[in-house]
Amino acid sequence: MFENIIKKIESAEKIAIFTHTRPDGDALGSAFGLKSALLEMGKEAVVCLESIFVPTKEYKFISCEKNSGLTKGDCDLWIALDCASVDRLGEFSADFEAFSNTVAIDHHRTHVDFASIDYVDADAPATAEIICLLLKEMGHSMSM
């Protein structure tokens, strides 16, 4: 089901993860859950949040710390999560469109393809569920 995405992840060394502007729980959980799994797999990963992002009180428990110096420009694969269109990436939209090695994973019926590989499951209640299925298919057990 995720063969092409898995190949991209396995061949990448450094992965940038993006989500939509004003991220909600699904967006943040998907992004930081994927980052955690990638780190456990020995990859380098960074979650790229807009410069205006400030976690609201209900999301303070999510580890939204600034990353260890890894930037999107250092990465060889960019993954967008929970974004129905490239404009939902806010300040990262133009850069994402210009980058050549991209994946988009989403659950919105209104999704408009914008990545090298777009995976959409409109029957999934959340992108986080798709991420769990992807990781399971990769043989990764969730640590949280």
- Angle of the 127-137 helix axis to the 3-11 helix axis, nearest 10: 70
- pLDDT value at residue 19: 96
CB 102, CB 80: distance < 8 Å: yes
pTM equals 0.92
pLDDT at 144: 52
Mean pLDDT by 10 residues, the chain (144 residues): 96 97 92 93 94 76 65 96 97 97 98 98 97 94 62
> What confidence score (pLDDT) does residue 141 get?
72
State residue 57's pLDDT score: 77
Burial group, residue 144, by CB count within 10 angstroms (0-12, 13-18, 19+): exposed
**Does residue 29 contact residue 55 with C-beta atoms inside 8 Å?**
no
Write the single-letter amino acid at 1: M
Q: Which residue in this structure is represented by tokens 């092409």? A: 4
**What's the CA gap between 47 and 121, in Å, rounded?**
22
